[in-house]
């Protein structure tokens, strides 16, 4: 295994759990919340302040890809949320340079050029059931609203910083329905795909 695996996921679909399983099986590092500390250090912020800007986009701004800054522009001062994204991007690329790993979220599938990209999803009922099993103490209706809100923010964030459509099959190597097969089924499928992927790469 010589590639980074990126995992994009709907909230409550089990993408983090799958990532941990893959990293353990492949004996490679796993990064999710760990990226927060590394990225905060990269841009000189405390973790608390960094979290304030994570997965947020500037209000009433063009996408980052469309913005053009010059030393003489009134918009020369880059919004903090953009600085946070750029810091995360640098950290993700540094980690990829160190060798194979599993990275969850943070638009890593678009940041890296040569990674294996997964998208994990499930219907809302299966995700609500999964979150309920985690004993969050949140009522089901409130949880449904929470899931939909997190998904909306992730979609907008991904679109803003990459210009691509979050969850669109063409943007990933594998899209997996954890609600149908469970995490174990997704795990077995990804492992089989990796073997085929590596075999093709060597041909």
In degrees and rounded to multiples of 5, residue 73 shows phi and psi of -90, 145
Percent above pLDDT 70 for the chain: 79
Residues pairing with 7 in the sheet: 104, 118
Q: Over the stretch 15-28, which tens digit does the pLDDT of each residue have?
A: 999 999 999 999 99
Overall pTM surpassing 0.85 (yes/no): no
Instruction: State whether residue 157 is helix, strand or coil.
Output: helix
Q: Round to whole Å and give the CA distance between 161 and 85.
A: 8
Q: Round to whole Å and give the CA distance between 84 and 90.
A: 10
Instruction: State whether residue 71 is helix, strand or coil.
Output: coil
Domain residue ranges of the chain, discontinuous segments joined by +: 5-202
202 or 145, higher pLDDT: 145
Q: Going edge to edge, which strands form the sheet with 174-177?
A: 30-31, 102-104, 5-9, 116-121, 174-177
Q: Over the stretch 153-178, which tens digit does the pLDDT of each residue have?
A: 999 999 999 999 999 999 999 999 99
Q: Round to whole Å and give the CA distance between 94 and 98.
A: 7
Q: Over the stretch 118-142, which tens digit does the pLDDT of each residue have?
A: 999 999 999 999 888 876 677 878 8
Q: Over the stretch 52-80, which tens digit does the pLDDT of each residue have?
A: 666 666 554 455 555 544 444 444 466 77
Range with top average pLDDT, 26-35, 40-49, 109-118, 129-138: 109-118
Check whether domain 5-202 has CATH 3.90.226.10, yes or no: no
Residue with tokens 């030393």: 71
Q: Is the pLDDT of residue 45 over 50?
A: yes
Q: Taking the CA atoms of the chain, what radius of gyration do you get in angstroms?
A: 18
């Amino acid at each position: 295994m010589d590639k980074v695996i990126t995992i994009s996921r709907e909230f409550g679909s089990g993408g983090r759990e799958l990532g941990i399983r893959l990293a353990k099986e492949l004996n490679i590092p796993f990064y999710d919340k760990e990226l927060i500390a590394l990225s905060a250090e990269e841009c000189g912020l405390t973790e608390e302040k960094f979290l304030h800007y994570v997965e947020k986009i500037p209000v009433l701004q063009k996408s980052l890809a469309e913005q053009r800054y010059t030393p003489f522009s009134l918009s020369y001062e880059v919004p903090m949320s953009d600085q946070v994204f750029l810091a995360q991007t640098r950290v993700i690329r540094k980690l990829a340079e160190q060798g194979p790993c599993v990275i969850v979220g943070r638009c890593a599938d678009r940041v890296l050029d040569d990674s294996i990209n997964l998208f994990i999803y499930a219907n809302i009922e299966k995700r609500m059931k999964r979150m309920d099993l985690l004993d969050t103490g949140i009522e089901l209706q409130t949880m449904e609203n929470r899931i939909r809100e997190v998904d909306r923010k992730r979609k907008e964030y991904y679109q803003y910083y990459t210009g691509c459509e979050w969850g669109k099959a063409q943007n990933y190597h594998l899209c997996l329905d954890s609600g149908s097969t469970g995490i174990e089924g997704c795990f077995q499928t990804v492992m089989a795909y990796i073997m085929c992927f590596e075999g093709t790469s060597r041909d």
